[in-house]
Amino acid sequence: MDKIGVIGIIITDRQVVPEVQALLSDFSEIILGRMGIPDRDHGIQAISIVVEGPNEKISALSGKLGRLNNVVVKSAVTNIEIK
């Protein structure tokens, strides 16, 4: 069953942005929407992503993002199942 979740991403070094973009493209089939906010005063970028898919894919995306240097990730997956 597919689930609905949210992934929050904080990027502390712009050098890693192409890697983040590549991963988001690789998992585009589970991404329903995204919003990015650059915080130029503090030199960080915040991205929130709403996802729908199998828990394994959501976890895989979160895990791959979290293994990148200068990227902090938090995810929350609901218990709502989508048929």
The residue extents of the domains of the chain are: 2-82
Residue-wise pLDDT for 37-67, tens only, equals 999 999 999 999 999 999 999 999 999 999 9
Top-tier CATH class for 2-82:
alpha beta
Which residue do the tokens 């089939």 mark? Answer: 29
Residue 47's nearest CA partner among 59, 67, 65, 26 is: 65
Q: Cα dihedral angle (18, 61, 72, 19), rounded to 10 degrees?
A: -10
Type of residue at 30:
I
Mean pLDDT, residues 7-31: 97
Residue 48's nearest CA partner among 20, 69, 68, 26 is: 20
